[in-house]
Amino acid sequence: MGPRSFARNGQYFPRPVVRTPATRICLDCLRQDARISGLPHQIGMAFRSDWQVPFLRACPRHNRALVEVWTDSDRTRRHDFATRIGLVMPQIMTGDLDTPALPVSP
Ligand SMILES: [Zn+2]
């Protein structure tokens, strides 16, 4: 572990491995955030850094494939989650981006 590593769930990854220009989300996690936060959806939805791990392709809580919603090599724009998620909010809430259930390996 060091400044060039990234820790998630007790596992350490070299930081370059998790620096991807793509942003992936779990639609079910975000809809759950929207329902329970009591905040406007765009503010109540939270990005999970686990979604950055490149070989994690599905949400282990919802058994659903993560969905790539934008790619941007500019880190400032890429990490402006509240602004960017607002652009796909209608599709998230209506289920238009939903993917089939995906069995998650242990
Ligand atoms: Zn999820």
pTM for this entry: 0.84
Number of domains in the chain: 1
In a domain? residue 54: yes
Neighbour-count burial of 56, counting CB atoms closer than 10 A to its CB (0-12 exposed, 13-18 middle, 19+ buried)? middle
What residues flank ion ligand 1 with Cβ within 5 A? 26, 28-29, 59, 61-62
pLDDT computed for residue 17 by the predictor: 72
Cα 63 to ligand 1 centroid, rounded to whole Å: 7
* Largest pairwise CA distance in the chain: 42
Give average pLDDT by consecutive 10-residue segment, the chain, 106 residues.
Answer: 73 78 94 94 90 86 93 90 93 93 80
In a domain? residue 61: yes
Cα 13 to ligand 1 centroid, rounded to whole Å: 21
In a domain? residue 80: yes
In a domain? residue 73: yes
- Pair 104, 66: CB distance under 8 Å: no
Cα 23 to ligand 1 centroid, rounded to whole Å: 14
Neighbour-count burial of 105, counting CB atoms closer than 10 A to its CB (0-12 exposed, 13-18 middle, 19+ buried)? exposed
In a domain? residue 99: no
> Which H or E run contains 81?
helix 81-87
In a domain? residue 40: yes
Three-state DSSP class for 55?
coil
Q: Which domain holds residue 24?
A: 19-94
